[in-house]
Amino acid sequence: MDEKAVKYIVKDEINKFVKDSLDKEIKNQLHKSNSQSRDELIGTIKNALESLTKTLWVKKDFWRNDIK
């Protein structure tokens, strides 16, 4: 086997893994309640929602004053 054949086989196997089982593996990791990934994801979502709420609250006051 030459280098191109090995690279093709490795790339093909990675693509199969990504298509077939990557979503399942991520779902399994996030399903565990003590997973570090789950905690990070929850923290990120919480921070994003807080930032969105703060931004919309400031915009609400801006539009209320502008309409009057």
Q: Does residue 64 sit in the same domain as residue 48? A: yes
For the chain, the domain total comes to: 2
Judged against a pLDDT cut of 70, whether residue 68 lies above it is answered with no
Task: Write the pLDDT tens digit of every residue in 10-41.
Answer: 999 998 888 888 778 888 877 888 888 888 88
DSSP assignment of 1-66 equals --HHHHHHHHHHHHHHHHHHTHHHHHHHHHHSTT-HHHHHHHHHHHHHHHHHHHHHHHHHHHHHHH
Per-residue pLDDT, 67: 65
Residue 14: give the domain boundaries: 1-31
Entry pTM: 0.53
Do 26 and 52 fall within a single domain? no
pLDDT, tens only, 41-56: 889 999 999 999 998 8
pLDDT of 60 higher than 90: no
